[in-house]
Amino acid sequence: MRSYEEAFSPYWYPVAFSHELKERPLAARLLGKELVVWRVGAGVAATQRYCAHRGADLCAGEVSAEGLRCAFHGWTYGGDGRCVRVPSQPGAPIPASAALASFRAVERYGLVWVCLDARSEQTLPEWPELETGKVATVALPRLDWDVSAGRMLEIILDVTHLSWVHKGTFGNPEQQEVPPYEVARVPGGLRAQITYPALSPAMEGVVPRVDRTTLTYEVFLPFAVRLSFKPTLFFQHTVYAVASPWSEEKMQCFYFASYHPGLKLFPDIFVKSELAILEQDRLVAEGQRPKAHPLDFSGEVHVRADRLPIEYRRGVIALRTGRPVEGPTPE
Ligand code: FES
Ligand SMILES: [Fe+2]
């Protein structure tokens, strides 16, 4: 069995929102690696975080026209990680070993993405609507939760917890049964749709009303999902969540929404209500054991209503083991 880090290295993960990466280099973590990301020319660069010379933290360095300059002795690295300047001996050749491990980095959808595996042919999720200029987006602060990436996705995909965990935000305690729904396997992931009688956002002096909402889940394996909400009362919008694994037991999730740019009130309402909803999820997810996303189905019990998280887990295990995964087929 491959290690977690090895199995998931070929995929792309966000390490920062674009708006977080300004002129200063930024620390990032991914699958056990400590990275530094910075802006270079028209693009972004990602390398190991600690200087090849004496291990100084390059996040304390500065970005110059030549590249990232270490604060300790001024060694400067280009976007490919190679040292281009050693100020203490400017006339001498630069040792070939004066280089940082460097990784592919791109900026898309308002995120800085990194792939640790240079030979990987994996691609980013395709979310073309975000590049038409026809939708506005609003991001939450990074969700820095003490949960594994797989558990994070499973709670987002869990259609049976809504009436329990989300009481007081949108959960409808009257609707506990989950009607049958289909989960389709599509290239790179899964797709499912449910309709849920959500309670409209609680506002002062307003009696909550039932807002029949169609939720469409589109999973892009291993850890990304697009979730579109078509409510009858509240605003139509689409949520994008990508968990970026720090280790097998810990992730940060990049979570944002797109909406019609005419909805001026949307960002405020969304951020406020979504943070309250996600806090309800966090309290449950951080308490789950084992913390690592299980590699099989044996330690838990699976029923038909759990179909979407089950199919998701099946997909993640297959990526980890490199083999298709059988069972369970819950009745
Ligand atoms: S430790 Fe970075 S230049 Fe010396
Ligand atoms: Fe939830």
Ligand 1, atom 3: nearest CA belongs to which residue?
A: 73
Alpha-carbon torsion 270, 273, 279, 282, what sign? Answer: negative
The CATH number of residue 215's host domain is 3.90.380.10
In a mutational test of the pocket of ligand 1, which residue from 36, 49, 70, 76 has the highest number of ligand atoms less than 8 Å from its CB? 70
pLDDT for res 42 = 87
* Nearest atom in ligand 1 to 51's CA: 2
Ligand 1, atom 1: nearest CA belongs to which residue?
A: 54
- List the domain range (segments joined by +) for residue 302: 131-321
- Does some domain include residue 101? yes
pLDDT for res 203 = 65
- Does some domain include residue 278? yes
**Alpha carbon of 262 to ligand 1 centroid (Å):** 50
Do 112 and 144 belong together in one domain?
Answer: no
Whether residue 68 contacts residue 58, with contact meaning beta carbons closer than 8 Å, is answered with yes
Do 58 and 141 belong together in one domain?
Answer: no
Q: Which two tokens stand for residue 63?
A: 């970005």
Give the three-state DSSP class for 314. helix
Do 207 and 301 belong together in one domain?
Answer: yes
Q: Which of 151, 323, 313, 157 is nearest to 248 (CA)?
A: 151
DSSP alpha helices (H): ranges in the chain? 4-8, 149-157, 162-165, 266-285, 307-321
Give the three-state DSSP class for 232. coil
Q: Which ligand is nearest to the CA of 61?
A: 1
- Does some domain include residue 329? no
Do 221 and 136 belong together in one domain?
Answer: yes
- Does some domain include residue 317? yes
Q: Which of 94, 124, 154 is the last residue of a domain?
A: 124
Q: Which ligand is nearest to the CA of 157?
A: 2
Q: Which residues line ligand 1 (CB under 6 A)?
A: 51, 53-54, 56, 70, 72-75
Whether residue 277 contacts residue 166, with contact meaning beta carbons closer than 8 Å, is answered with yes
Give the three-state DSSP class for 76. strand
Residue 280: CB partners within 8 Å, gap ≥ 6? 165, 166, 168, 169
Q: Which residues pair with 237 in a beta bridge?
A: 229
Separation CA 249–CA 270 (nearest Å): 28
- Does some domain include residue 31? yes
Angle among Cα 17, 20, 21 to the nearest 5 degrees reads: 100
Q: What are the b/e assignments for 77-112, b being 16+ CB within 10 Å?
A: bbbebbbebbeeeeeeeeeeebbbebbebebebbbb
- Count of domains for the chain: 2
Do 189 and 212 belong together in one domain?
Answer: yes
The CATH number of residue 30's host domain is 2.102.10.10
In a mutational test of the pocket of ligand 1, which residue from 48, 49, 51, 89 has the highest number of ligand atoms less than 8 Å from its CB? 51
- β-pairing verdict for 136-139 and 68-69: unpaired
**Alpha carbon of 313 to ligand 2 centroid (Å):** 17
Q: Which of 107, 124, 141 is the last residue of a domain?
A: 124
Do 136 and 273 belong together in one domain?
Answer: yes
pLDDT for res 169 = 92
Do 104 and 139 belong together in one domain?
Answer: no
Q: Spell out the per-residue pLDDT of the chain, length 331, in tens.
A: 899 999 999 999 999 999 999 999 999 999 999 999 999 988 999 999 999 999 999 999 999 999 999 999 999 999 999 999 999 999 999 999 999 999 999 999 999 999 999 999 999 999 999 999 999 999 999 999 999 999 999 999 999 999 999 999 999 999 999 999 999 999 999 999 999 999 976 566 777 899 999 999 999 999 999 999 999 888 899 999 999 999 999 999 999 999 999 999 999 999 999 999 999 999 999 999 999 999 999 999 999 999 999 999 999 999 999 988 877 766 5
CA distances from 177 to 1, 72, 237, 277, 305 (A): 38, 61, 25, 20, 9
**Alpha carbon of 228 to ligand 2 centroid (Å):** 14
- Does some domain include residue 156? yes
Q: Which ligand is nearest to the CA of 153?
A: 2
Q: Which ligand is nearest to the CA of 169?
A: 2
Separation CA 180–CA 83 (nearest Å): 59
- Does some domain include residue 327? no
Residue 18: CB partners within 8 Å, gap ≥ 6? 107, 110, 111, 112
Give the three-state DSSP class for 220. strand
- Does some domain include residue 275? yes
Give the three-state DSSP class for 60. helix
Do 171 and 215 belong together in one domain?
Answer: yes
Whether residue 7 contacts residue 320, with contact meaning beta carbons closer than 8 Å, is answered with yes
Q: Which amino acid is at 126?
A: E
